[in-house]
Structure 1
Amino acid sequence: MKKIFVLLLLCHGSSSVKHSLQYFFTASSGVQSLPDLLGVVQIDNVTMGSCDTSTKTLAPRQGWVNRYLDDDPDQRKYYTEECFEIEPEFFKATINHLKQEFHLSAGVHILQRLSGCEWDDETGNVTGFYQFAYNGEDFISLDLKTLTWMPLKPQADVLKPRWDDDKAVTNYIANFITQICPEWLKRSLQYGKSSLTRINRPSVSLLQKDPSSPVSCHATGFYPDRALMFWRKDGEDLHEDVEYGEILPNHDGSFQTSVNLDLSSVKPEDWGRYECVFLLSGVKEEIITKLDKAVIRSNSEKPTDMTVPITATVVVVALVIAVTVFMVYKKKKAKRRPYYLDNSTELSMALN
């Protein structure tokens, strides 16, 4: 399977690419350190901008975004109204309804929505998605094939007939996801072409906490995020004693990842047989780092160039996730009551 993925990765320059435009909204209640509503827009997993109710301003994260919005004032107006008028009212009303149904007047509550589209630049195929989560659990989503709402939790069953009956809202969502979203995605790709289609090679280092710890092969500063990293011995991929890390965003829009190798069963005289391999989409050659004691850097040195700060947005999202997991754990001990929205008025307001 890995060899197939490597082949696809190396041939990526002549194959199609799926681009995505994603909208994340997270509303919270009972968390003083978080804004009532946080919104994030991403293109191809790179944050383009954010907004929150505490600042009341749109915050572009890429240099070209302001120029893009200046040339399309209607779209800037849309994002401003969504972030600071429509969505805050909708999410606040929805959380209040859910709290009433659960008979909960206090505590932490998190309501999230993920929506957007994917576009294949070769086939032209478009897929969309629109779904909600409540307190860390999938709640309800829209099936774009049938234009009906699909409960993802038993508690959401009562919502299905109410939301299915509101055809105007459902049709608006479907039109936005399948028509407007792809067009905005294509235009954004044109404006941000130099940034979004760039190729940045990584800086690769070997790190080790202490002599008995695994050696971590760490790559940072690469773009795009379509990459593969693994350990190899005598030219063969290693699967045992290897731990793979996720591809994570850096503060500057690039990415980082790592793969660890357990040295407990590696003989000192065999170190030269091991190498860390990094593959990046659009780059044919492998980036190889030999396992060598002389180049391993100890984490105790705290090298400044390897310190990868993350954006305030990621910090907020991490905090939201932590709070959500904690709440889910607590709620598992209590019997939940079904909850519903009295009607779809709030959803209509959010989408008109």
Structure 2
Amino acid sequence: MSDPRDRQSDAPPLLEVVGLKMQYAVSKAGFGKPQVLRAVDGVSFTLTRGETLSIVGESGCGKSSVARLIMRLEEPTAGRILIHGRRIDHLSARALRPMRRQVQIVFQDPFSSLNPRMKVRDILAEPVRNFRLAAGASAVRRRVADLLAQVRLPASAGERFPHEFSGGQRQRIGIARALAAEPEAIVCDEAVSALDLSVKAQIVNLLQDLQRDLGLALLFISHDLAIVEHITHRVAVMYLGQSVEMADRRTIFGGPRHPYTAALLSAVPIPDPFVKRKRILLSGDVPSPINPPAGCRFHTRCPFVFDRCRTEIPALRQLREGHVAACHLNDLPDQPLARAAEILGEAGRPIEVQS
């Protein structure tokens, strides 16, 4: 039986991001000119109805900045953000208001994202009233009760304040608040990273059930590749503000074509003492986004670096349908680095140890 997470969608994009950039001016000591920090530098992707796209990478790679830009919590320096083909990146606050219903967000910290002075019923009722999704007090109360039931909380939870709940319960309230606007897509910005392992699994299963029942699209931002493999349809890998590889779940986890993707996968622990995988160790630290390296931004840490990597920026090009990667290794003939390509493929899956 085929896994639905491996199926490719032919539906038109619900959300489309094209060449998205976010730059910050950083003050410099003395009288020098302000420096530019490139938090997001030319990111593009699409998200269709009912699909989960995961954005992964190390801390500081720009994942959460992409989420904030999509939600217009910050203004992009360049690029386009489209919902159902309509640009929203240049809309005024007034014109953007009806579009906010389409895409909602669940934040990493469920406590700081909920108003501590409001009861849960009022937190959930606020978007219902703001978007005029129910007429009259009784209709609003019914909608709040339905939202609590959707996230598997009792109706009595509406009479309590956020501090009276556990972290997992508060995140359920955050999800219910996102659902209150009846969105087509939800951005999950590290939505499970602050939770215990067992609670993570419950929240991920809840998101999958809601996606199945409501046809939601999920933009799932995370550094936890085990969770990503469980929930996602496609994966976008970011490094230092840029996309370096994007493909369906099976391709990324089974045969990555960028050394950084392979290194991330090789570092995922395997809970089986009789199984090991080849580990790709990266040297050095992540370069500063204020002064990124010339050529490929990953070349200072790449175990397969060669001269071209140091001078020429690799293009994000299509290797096959639905799979793009930005790595000069993919342009090489079989020799002399055919073994490097083999290692990239092997890093995605564990290697059994013969007893």
TM-score when normalising by structure 2: 0.24
Normalising by structure 1, we get a TM-score of: 0.24
Structure with larger Rg? 1
